[in-house]
Each structure stands twice: as structure tokens, then as C-alpha cells.
Chains A and B, each alone.
Chain A
Amino acid sequence: MSLTLYHGEPNGPSLTVLAALFAKQLRADLRYLDLARGERHTLDCAHEPLVAMSIEGEGPVLVADGEAMSDSVFIACYLDDVGQGAALRPAVPYDRWETMKWCRQMIERTAPAAAYLGCHAHPPQVDAALLARIGSMDLRARWEEIAAGQFSAEKLEDSRTKIAQAAERIETRLAGREWLMGAYSIADLESYAWLAGMVPLVPEAFPERTRTRDWLSRVQASAPVAKALSLARTADPAAVWSVGPEINRWG
């Protein structure tokens, strides 16, 4: 099996996939991309439909035996299937359902909010020549808005609410648990990856001496995440953001 992982700073979707790769004891050719400059769009495989039209925004790309794969949670599921060591999803169907449902909420509600707030606080600087190479019109439109500094006060406020709601869900979920699904799982990776950078941006959502703060520390210290974070090229990878998923167009 040949794996090449194109990834950005260990934050957001890149962090999820890097940590899953390390947790599953897999070896991959790691290629660093500056996702905040839109460098993913320099890749030939960026134009393949299931990469170009990924709705995750500027996430990592795993090339597995020649097939380019996008969407961090599903790449992590793939790595969980093909790798070694402890499973990153529970074995019992109901618990697996909870994991996938949890990740769906992260993907659909939390990730767009986190990326929006992250880009507002730490604007990515797209290379203008790369904008024209972006295959998805709606992704390009999000890039153009962010490059122009166009952030809606309403969306910023709604995003802060969604981060607070995610933190509340985590706080509730962690009652009597060390990890979100009982054992260390993709849900921990994906939730941490989007929320670690939100602590300084939405501090009221993360009070001190809560289960959520303890869990954030535990995930950060876990071997796969620590190894992913060691690949950072900046002092604070949680402050490096690129364009994320779209905020729901309606309902």
C-alpha cells in the first residue's frame, strides 16, 4: 500500500488525518502544503472531482494507491480500516452510530463556524494566481470574500454560538468519561482539531476547571496528536486557518 499525505499545519482537518495516521501506525510520504495560501490547488490531483468538489474546504489530501481522497473524517475512517493497533471507532453498532453522528455534527455545524472565526482572526493570504485554479465555484467565492475581508457580523455571532454549543455538548458528554466515545476515537480527534484554536477566540465557551478543558489537554498530550503537533512549522499551529466548509445555506 502506497500512501502520500498532503497536509497543512496540524490544525483543523489536517490535524485529524495526521493524528489518525500516527494512531494507526501507518507510514506515509508526508508532503507539507501551505493551505492558507491555497497551495492545495497546485496539485494535479486537486482537480479530480472528489477532491475539487470536497465540501470540507482547504483540507488535506491522501493519495492511496493512486486514488486521491478528501474529507478528513472519512479519510480517518479509511486509515482506521487499513491500519494497525487500537480501533479509532467503537465496535458496537450503536456506539459507531453515535461516533458518526457526533462527527456529522462537528462537520456540519462546528467546522464551518471554527473556520469562519479562525479566518477572521488569522486571515489566510491566498496567492491570487491560485484563485483561478480553484475548481469549486463556491469554495472560490468563500476565498474571495475572505481575501476581501468581508465577514458578516451575523455569521460571526452565529459561529461563536455554535462553538459554545459544541463546547457544551462536549462538557455534557464527558460526564463519567475520559474520551467522547468511551475509548479514544476519531470523535476526539475531529472535535479537538476544530476546537483547540477556538479557546483563545471564544474564551467564554471554555471556562477553566471544566471537563472540556481537561479533555483538551488530554487529547493534546495523546501520542498521535503530540506527534502531529510536532510537525508544526509555526509557533502556534492552532492559529493557522484556511477556508473551511460552507456555513449552511438554509435549514
Chain B
Amino acid sequence: MHSVTLYHWEPNANSGKPMLALMEKGVAFNSHYLDLLKFDQHRPEYLAINPQGTIPAMVHGDRVLTESTAMMEYVEEAFPGPRLMPEDPRDRWRVRWWMKFMDQWLGPSFSMIGWSVFVGPAVRARDPAELKAAIERIPLPERRVAWTKAISGNFGAEEMAESRRRVALGIRMLEDALARRPWLASDEFSLADINGFNLAYALPLAQPALSNDDLTPNILRWLRTIYARPATRACWAMGRTSMVERVKILEQPRIAAGQLA
């Protein structure tokens, strides 16, 4: 079998999606950690692998795959192991619907908040000339804008308010969906849950007024159940920053409303 190398950052958001999918499938892979905060993803050696400079990228044999959600579907289809897509076609539609919703609507709002409180402050202290050079190396114009905003803290009040609105609504939608089914998109664990966990694992810590055992018991049940899976434990143990240590909030047996606010 061809070897698999995954170029990734933390088990978080897009990087964590194929990491956890590979580990759930039991696929061994060479881990190549890229430090997003040091702009490793825009260095020539990585751009030679993925010219767009986005993380993650997976090399399987001599082929390079990008786009984390499509990559997860590839992992599901190319390797043996436990099934991560339901058999029923309507369930599969629901898996894809939720992944798109999280990737393109809810996730960007989470990350706008996350970048403003974590990524921006983490890199802002660097030498301005070094940051300017790093931004100029970013191949995609949209990512240059995003990084510039994150570094400068230049998110407008209106767009931050819109992100908060979407996060609050998204949390209600997740809670409603998980009240109807044990897993997000069907009655079995799927790629939608892997995607969702990467988005929401720190939710009760990041949004304590909106997500806790009193307000969103089904989200908390879902997060704790995923966190208890051996693959998730092994995956999050690969994290190197304080950001992913937030997952330990899920070790608390109960998080009451107001407890963390």
C-alpha cells in the first residue's frame, strides 16, 4: 500500500478533519506538522506540495490531495476500516449538507471570532517587516485579506456582530439536530460528526453563555461521546498549543449554565 503523509496544523478546524478521519479508519500516516502561526504553510518547501498554501494537504503515493472535506470523503472511500459514511443515500445527503453548512456558513463565523482572539494576538507581536513579508508570500488573495485582518485586529463591529449571530443560530441548529438523532446527520457516526467536532469541541468554553449542559444538553452529550473515542483522544494528543487543550473542558461531567461565564 502507498504511504500517506498528512501536512497539517493542530487537530482543529480543517487540519483536524482528515487527521481524525484517518485515525478513525485506522490508517497509519506520516505526520508533517506545519506551524500556522509561523506561516510554515507559505514557505517554498510547502508551496512545492500545495501551491495554494492552504492546510491541510495529503500525499497518498504520488498524488496530492487538498480541500479537507473532499479529502475526508477520499479517506473514507480509499481505505478499509470502519464506515464513516452511512449506507442510506438520504443520510449521505444529510452528511454533505451539514459539512457544507459548517464549512461555508458556520465555520467562518467561528473562525472570525477565533482568529480575532487567538491567531491575531498570537502573531501580532512579531516584527512588522517579517509579518509584511509573510503576508506577501500568501498565494491566494482572499487569504491575504484574512491574514491582514487577523493580524491587525481589523474586523468591523458589524461583521463581528454578524458572526456572533451566526454562531448563536448555528448552536441552536446543532442542538435541534442532535435532539432528533444520536449523531448529527444520521443514526451512525459519520464524517459530519468528525467535521462538527473539529468546529465545536471547545464550544462550552468558547461560548459558555450559549452552550452548556442546561442549554444544549444534546451538543454536550455529542461532544463528550466523540471525545471518548480512542481515535479522538489519540488525535488531540498530537496538538502542541494551548488552543487544543481546551478540549479538556469535555472531561467535566457537567457544565452548568453560568459556571464558566
Contacts and interface: CB of A to CB of B under 8 A. Distances in A.
Q: Please report whether the interface of chain B is mostly helix, strand, loop or mixed according to DSSP.
A: helix
B93 A69 contact: yes
B97 interface: yes
Contacts of A93: 74, 77-78
Interface stretch (A95-103, A204-212, A222-230, A233-241): A95-103
Interface stretch (B3-11, B143-151, B214-222, B249-257): B143-151
Nearest to A83: B89
A248 B104 CA distance: 8
Interface stretch (B61-69, B121-129, B226-234, B235-243): B61-69
Nearest to A137: B165
A250 B159 contact: yes
For A96, A97, A100, the residue with the greatest tally of chain B CB atoms inside 10 Å of its CB is A97
Interface size of A as a range: 35 or more
Given A53-B173, A81-B89, A108 B104 contact: yes
Contact of A55 (B74, B101, B145): B101
B182 interface: no
A69 B98 CA distance: 12
Interface stretch (A14-22, A72-80, A146-154): A72-80
A250 B165 CA distance: 16
Contacts of A69: 90, 93, 97
Contacts of A104: 67, 69-70
Contacts of B69: 100, 104
A169 B186 CA distance: 35
B65 A97 contact: yes
B151 to A, nearest CB: 12
Contacts of B60: 94
A78 B142 contact: no
A82 interface: yes
Given A93-B74, A251-B146, A74 B67 contact: no
Interface in A35-74: 49-50, 53-55, 64-65, 67, 69-71, 73-74
B206 interface: no
B143 A251 contact: yes
Contacts of B166: 138
Contact of B92 (A55, A73, A81, A101): A81
B145 A74 contact: no
User: What's the dominant secondary structure at chain A's contact region?
Assistant: helix
A198 interface: no
A250 B92 contact: no
Contacts of B90: 64-65, 67, 69, 78
B96 interface: yes
Nearest to A91: B77
Contacts of B112: 249-250
Nearest to B63: A94
A107 interface: yes
Interface in B97-123: 97, 100-101, 104-105, 108, 112
Greatest chain A CB density within 10 A among B97, B147, B149 is at B97
A250 B143 CA distance: 8
Contacts of A54: 97
Given A78-B90, A251-B147, 11 more contacts: A50-B97, A53-B173, A55-B100, A55-B101, A55-B105, A73-B96, A74-B96, A78-B92, A97-B73, A138-B166, A250-B108
Interface of A: 49-50, 53-55, 64-65, 67, 69-71, 73-75, 77-78, 81-82, 93-94, 96-97, 100-101, 104, 107-108, 137-138, 245-246, 248-251
Closest 8 A/B residue pairs (Cβ) = A251-B146, A81-B89, A93-B77, A93-B78, A97-B74, A100-B70, A74-B96, A101-B70
